Amino acid sequence: MKFRNFKMVDYVVYGSGCFDQLGEILAPRRKGDAPMIFFVDEYFQDKQAFLSRIPLQGKDKVVVIDVTYEPKTVTVDKIRDELKAEFGEVSGIIGIGGGSVMDMAKAVALMMTNPGSSADYQGWDLVKFPGVYKVGIPTISGTGAEVSRTCVLTGPTRKLGMNSDFTPFDQIVLDPSLTQTVEPNQRFYTAMDCFIHCVESLTGTYLNAFSQSYGEKAQELCEEIFLEKDTWDDDCDEKLMMASYAGGMSIAYSQVGVAHAVSYGLAYLLGTKHGIGNCIVFDKLEEFYPDGVKKFKEMVKKHNIDIPQGITKGLTDEQFDTMINVSLGMAPLWENALGKDWKEIMTRERLRKLYERL
């Protein structure tokens, strides 16, 4: 198909406090006594005031998701096996957390109905059957995972998402008040994922008016809250949540670029997390994104953020090769960033030099 026929999230509810409408939203989706399973970011595990707002009924269960590592295919398979053993069928999976928990929710929801291991479905359009009903509820803003058609997983041989028309959530609940407790450095790293999505989309060769409209708005919102405002308030949480949504919509119809391609290599080899990894790489990409990097550096300075340096120091040739292989494997990202001749522009030697600077 020449034009991408983009499958979107079915339902969106937005507004401060809208989380409390979740019970009503889930009611018609309950199938007999099959439970709703709530995946909750570990940050909330001892926050009783929050946990008591989860609309539990009957056999419903809260599963605390450990976010020390980004989602792995083995963990997805294990949680799926445990849920199947305990309940047989479930009515739905609700992911409450950041990109890690939302991706975990998408992946497990798909694996409840698809045979085998989630590693078998890392790639494009490999998922065979629709998953169970799934809901995404971000509690930190920036990744755009709430709107995307992928859930990024680290598997035995690669870090790659389950990209499919079955992957987007059936429902998302955008309640900016849930993000109030995010620690400022973490908030910045994840927010910059959104800012970088915008820069990569807006300067890419895949750009079109659809992506541009969302990307420009999302970038404008990021700049307003991180460069123009002097204190963080509820308005910032609201705007950042919508920036994340719009940034996700922007890349849905284009692609990300150099920062993501390079940071995937870091994540694969060193386990560097997505938000901070993108910041570490983007900080050194002035030759590719001069305006974006200049603004990024202003934001880092204004918010007094620590961007780690020297993380590839002392790595072996073999380790650099691993990162280069993972990175150059992301062909669409490079093509979007540098055009059809990207292989001549981004040679292994040039990429090695870039990795050495991180």
According to DSSP, residue 219 is labeled H
* 214 lies in the binding site for ligand NAD (CB under 6 A): no
According to DSSP, residue 255 is labeled -
Structure tokens at 346: 């981004």
| Residue 64, SS3 per DSSP | strand
Pick the closest to residue 274 from 99, 140, 155, 96 (CA basis). 99
* 336 lies in the binding site for ligand NAD (CB under 6 A): no
Considering all CA atoms of the chain, what is the largest pairwise distance in Å, rounded to the nearest integer?
60
Question: Would you say 42 or 286 has its CB closer to ligand NAD?
Answer: 42
Complete DSSP assignment for 88-155? S--SEEEEEESHHHHHHHHHHHHHTTS-S-GGGG-EES---S--SEEEEEESS-SS-TTT-S--EEE-
Pick the closest to residue 259 from 280, 286, 278 (CA basis). 278
Segment interacting with ligand NAD (CB under 6 A) among 78-86, 179-187, 304-312, 313-321: 179-187
Question: Would you say 70 or 193 has its CB closer to Zn ion?
Answer: 193
* 70 lies in the binding site for Zn ion (CB under 5 A): no
Q: Which does 97 bind (CB under 5 to 8 A by kind): Zn ion, ligand NAD, none?
A: ligand NAD
Please say whether the beta carbons of 237 and 212 come within 8 A.
Answer: no
Q: How far is the CB of 32 from ligand NAD (least distance, A)?
A: 31
Q: Which does 215 bind (CB under 5 to 8 A by kind): ligand NAD, Zn ion, none?
A: none
> How many residues in the shown chain lie near ligand NAD by CB under 6 A?
31
H-helix or E-strand spanning residue 76: helix 73-87
* 215 lies in the binding site for ligand NAD (CB under 6 A): no
Complete DSSP assignment for 152-217? EEE-SS-EEEEESTT-S-SEEEE-GGGGTT--HHHHHHHHHHHHHHHHHHHTSTT--HHHHHHHHH
* Contact pattern from residue 143 through residue 182 relative to Zn ion, giving x for each residue in contact according to CB under 5 A and a dash for the rest: ----------------------------------------
Q: Which does 218 bind (CB under 5 to 8 A by kind): Zn ion, ligand NAD, none?
A: none
Q: How far is the CB of 266 from ligand NAD (least distance, A)?
A: 12
> Cβ-closest residue to ligand NAD?
99
Binders of ligand NAD among 70-99, rule CB under 6 A?
70-71, 97-99
Q: Which does 324 bind (CB under 5 to 8 A by kind): Zn ion, ligand NAD, none?
A: none
One of 70, 175, 193, 200 touching Zn ion (CB under 5 A): 193
Residues in the chain, total: 358
Tokens 């002035």, residue located: 286
Q: Which does 154 bind (CB under 5 to 8 A by kind): ligand NAD, Zn ion, none?
A: none
Complete DSSP assignment for 291-340? HHHHHHHHHHHHTT------TTTT--HHHHHHHHHHHHT-HHHHHHHH-T
Segment interacting with ligand NAD (CB under 6 A) among 30-38, 52-60, 87-95, 185-193: 185-193
* 250 lies in the binding site for ligand NAD (CB under 6 A): no
Question: Would you say 35 or 202 has its CB closer to ligand NAD?
Answer: 202
* 179 lies in the binding site for ligand NAD (CB under 6 A): yes
* 152 lies in the binding site for ligand NAD (CB under 6 A): yes
Please say whether the beta carbons of 64 and 51 come within 8 A.
Answer: no
HSE-up of 324 (CA within 13 Å, CB side)? Answer: 19
* Contact pattern from residue 19 through residue 58 relative to ligand NAD, giving x for each residue in contact according to CB under 6 A and a dash for the rest: ----------------------xxx---------------
Please say whether the beta carbons of 351 and 328 come within 8 A.
Answer: yes
Question: Would you say 144 or 176 has its CB closer to Zn ion?
Answer: 144
Distance, C-alpha 80 to centroid of its chain = 21
Residues that bind ligand NAD (CB under 6 A): 41-43, 67, 70-71, 97-101, 103, 139-140, 142-145, 148, 150-152, 178-179, 181-182, 186, 190, 193, 274-275
